[in-house]
Structure 1
């Protein structure tokens, strides 16, 4: 792709702005680790929520969505659309509990909830597993996506592209901590969305607008409906009914996935910890889910459909290249610079978060917990910056060894299968202990590895994923429940400490409320009702916007109307819940 001076000016200006923000927050981030990793717990909801959205808007995300749409039409997005239900649970049940816990990382929560050597082991293991191993895999596949964009656009190799991408991001991330990350996230989200919308407009212009696109889709998908339908139907060849049911009925609560962890966690929890109070935590996660699922996907989908029409041969040979091909071939000067800057923004927002978030585990839950527990705050900040740079180098190594973007996605889902239920219930059932989580993780890992080795299901079976997921979830759940009952409960003093600080609702803690002569925990039903309304809100807006784009006016009016009614119900519920200290349980 040939770039003009105007393109280069836009790209350079963007990088200078990002570095400037990083330098501006360096001094503030140097005060202590709370400032470096949690912005001093002073973030407003809109900034924390936008940072969450920007983090999930990685350079590889449009490529992955393009691959799903190219292979299976719009309905192919159910691989991730099902996580709406998990996200809404975080909003209405878990966000306030995370903020109330007062920890620095979700891994530190382990020793708030559990006691003894098992809890210490679990905390250290998960810190290394998530902060180093899993985090490096995520950054590697995100960098691979960005390297593909740069490689196709500027004709440079994967290793050179990886170093170029990571170098600037790591520099401002290690200087500015979370303050610099979230402020640049807000800027980067605006730039990335502007670039996505612009590319969709240019792509549609090439294929003759929406009408021209719809006229040419049957040639490639068999019918217009097969291409643009948001629901795949129960008799789809690529997504059999049992697989669809697993997506919408099991995967969202059973599988751990970054950004959609059952019960929240990871960088979502980090942003909640960083907000001013519980209400800001709830609003931040609500805004994140609305923007992430309902507002953002459609520009990518339009580019993907247009790309299939323009480059049908890539649909089967290299579908992830379709998005970049449209950008390289059909953008005019200046806009090429805008799109490359938008890809850089999407990439940098994700990597900056993962560098800061991963380092927070290694510092707070390994170095400070087990190696150097009593050093000065500035010492921990200095070590944090060194580890941030080291983590960036590890991710470069991972990048050059990853072959397929979607393959990493599938690996994450497989390794986390079956563990979700224990993460959901540990807040609301006192009997769960540290061994429950250890058993869930170990069993999920062994079952996933066993399925890869034994291969009990045919590779050609379209229900392969559903069968593997159900088997993994079933075995993992049975094992961790057995381990829970066969091992002692946590010490009563630890359980009382947790209950008094977090005040979870539901019947699972009623015995402790009676023992403390405290008011009974609040019922979970009102919060579950808000969860249902939240799901209706997101899906109503998501499907309604799509119908509006394709001129399906009745569907659009119905979907958007239902979404607005659900939104009104949520606003009414939030207005009633004015006491930030009340939450799920009476004080």
Structure 2
């Protein structure tokens, strides 16, 4: 990196810290200002922040590894979550905003009552704030260490590749230094600082991804989009360009549809992604960081718009720059052992001076946006759901803000400790999915069926965590096929929580009535509470589910239509554009029905 590159990165870091200091006074007024921005976020800021927190420095490395090892179809590992994210738009966004909570753990004592609810709230707050959250911070830091290693920053200062400072890898020390800067602005300004910096960080990170794709495709060894499509398949022994790993017209298969012999992922894994993972994962009804943004939105309508904007940015806009870079890396570095390093290698080899500084700043931005969210989100559990709820119920607002800042330091320190043990970004990503699989169906049903109780949710959360952990890291119990692993986790967890639910009493009628009165969910599962209160549901569940189906056609149609055009698969581009148009027209028609009603 040249001097101008370093100046660009330094200017970005100072600007980010300045924003945090500027917003510190506003965040200090109350706990709601610190953790949910006074419930005054506009949709575009909340939605951009949701998109920014899912784009960290690990993401392009993860995509490069997935495409390099499993092909484009391997991205269904995260594309499958689009289904739960579209459900979030039309089913859960308004429910979360209507509940007026600070954290999703707080909902537990609205939905359930008594000691079981208190135990569940404390357990969930600790589990999400410490092990799950800190594992996430750790593997983000691992990705940052990999990028610094490829850029050769410390080698340029005269250090050997294995030389240490204070017994520690200097690359990790660099990452920890940036994390301390993140802690400063996140601790000063709370969610206000996080979402405001997220807005600038997201578009800078997006620009960086597009820039790397542009310069990589310009290489004569790639030859633009035409050359990429022609050359990339020759570098692998599987169908790297397939969006969906099926083949058509095969004799002997049902309706001529069969599994591709050259697919980069197994049939069981693909089916687990699209049929199982998205509704069994712990984020099936939103996910903690997203819920924080939805709860902070101005109104229910703004929350719904924020969720839509996130989906468009995350799946339609960002997917293809990452995929193109990953494919280019296959062509340019066919013998690269660690495919995750393809992204930073392309940066270093093809970006001119100045542009390299901007793209490095974009990766730093991606790192900071996600880590700042993780810090603030984890601190909200420790402060609101543990400290305020169980230790200091009478705490003043100023004391709670101070506790939030102390909790931010603790979460950062624990996340940094996790970074010392992480080894592989994709492997840790799969561990996070595994330990979070199982409780998703309970999280959905608790909104729409009165019989779900606190013991059932606690059993699902604990069973899913330990089953996922054991089947991933314990050699004797490890299940290598990822799809089979998710199926086993889901099956065991379901047996446990269903048994626990029927062996324990239901929630008290007054608790159920109070929850329905506040949230007013749709569907047939609250008929008795609806009759007791005389209040109609605030949403039509049947209409919302039709909107979900239409929106899925629109979202995936746009995503694959754009991808088909970029990869010169014009049949796919035309067909998926037609699907997107059909979904859009269906949504418009449903909206007209809603207005007429």
TM-score w.r.t. the length of structure 1 is: 0.93
Question: Which residue of structure 2 lines up, in the alignment, with residue 227 of structure 1?
Answer: 240
Structure 1 residues not aligned, in runs of 5+: 583-587
Of residues 16, 23, 29, the one that matches 1:25 is: 23
Of residues 258, 267, 276, the one that matches 2:298 is: 276
User: 2: distance between equivalents of 1:66 and 1:451?
Assistant: 26
**Mapping of residues 112-151 of structure 1, within 5 Å:** 112-151=110-149
Question: Which residue of structure 2 lines up, in the alignment, with residue 245 of structure 1?
Answer: 271
SS of match in other structure, 1:107: helix
User: 1: distance between equivalents of 2:199 and 2:592?
Assistant: 27
Which range moved further: 31-40 or 383-392? 383-392
Does the alignment pair 1:218 with 2:233?
A: yes
**Mapping of residues 150-299 of structure 1, within 5 Å:** 150-156=148-154, 157-206=170-219, 207-222=222-237, 226-233=239-246, 234-236=259-261, 238-256=264-282, 261-299=283-321
Q: CA deviation at 1:238?
A: 4.0
Would the alpha carbon gap of residues 47 and 568 (structure 1) be closer, same or farther in structure 2, given more than 3 Å must change? Answer: farther
Question: Which residue of structure 2 lines up, in the alignment, with residue 585 of structure 1?
Answer: none
User: 2: distance between equivalents of 1:572 and 1:291?
Assistant: 24
**Mapping of residues 18-97 of structure 1, within 5 Å:** 18-97=16-95
Contact 1:162–1:399 (8 Å) recurs in 2: no
Of residues 277, 285, 309, the one that matches 2:331 is: 309
TM-score w.r.t. the length of structure 2 is: 0.91
Contact 1:51–1:182 (8 Å) recurs in 2: yes
Question: Which residue of structure 2 lines up, in the alignment, with residue 403 of structure 1?
Answer: 423
Deviation string, structure 1 residues 77-112 (Cα, Å, up to 9, x no partner): 011111111111111111100000011100000001
Does the alignment pair 1:476 with 2:490?
A: no
Q: CA deviation at 1:578?
A: 6.7
Question: Which residue of structure 1 lines up, in the alignment, with residue 572 of structure 2?
Answer: 555
- RMSD value over aligned CA atoms? 1.9
Q: CA deviation at 1:521?
A: 7.8
Question: Which residue of structure 1 lines up, in the alignment, with residue 556 of structure 2?
Answer: 539
Which range moved further: 447-456 or 491-500? 447-456
User: 1: distance between equivalents of 2:540 and 2:351?
Assistant: 55
After TM superposition, the runs of 4+ consecutive aligned structure 1 residues lying more than 6 A away are none
Would the alpha carbon gap of residues 578 and 111 (structure 1) be closer, same or farther in structure 2, given more than 3 Å must change? Answer: farther
User: 2: distance between equivalents of 1:519 and 1:195?
Assistant: 49
Contact 1:37–1:178 (8 Å) recurs in 2: yes
Does the alignment pair 1:321 with 2:347?
A: no
User: 1: distance between equivalents of 2:47 and 2:31?
Assistant: 21
Contact 2:73–2:264 (8 Å) recurs in 1: no
Which range moved further: 269-278 or 320-329? 320-329
Which range moved further: 482-491 or 555-564? 555-564
Q: CA deviation at 1:53?
A: 0.2
The number of residues matched between the two structures is: 566
User: 2: distance between equivalents of 1:540 and 1:521?
Assistant: 30
Question: Which residue of structure 2 lines up, in the alignment, with residue 355 of structure 1?
Answer: 375
Contact 1:52–1:271 (8 Å) recurs in 2: yes
Q: CA deviation at 1:364?
A: 0.3
Would the alpha carbon gap of residues 522 and 395 (structure 1) be closer, same or farther in structure 2, given more than 3 Å must change? Answer: closer
User: 2: distance between equivalents of 1:513 and 1:91?
Assistant: 24
User: 1: distance between equivalents of 2:351 and 2:25?
Assistant: 40
Q: CA deviation at 1:117?
A: 0.9
Which range moved further: 146-155 or 264-273? 146-155
User: 2: distance between equivalents of 1:19 and 1:575?
Assistant: 46
Would the alpha carbon gap of residues 387 and 110 (structure 1) be closer, same or farther in structure 2, given more than 3 Å must change? Answer: same
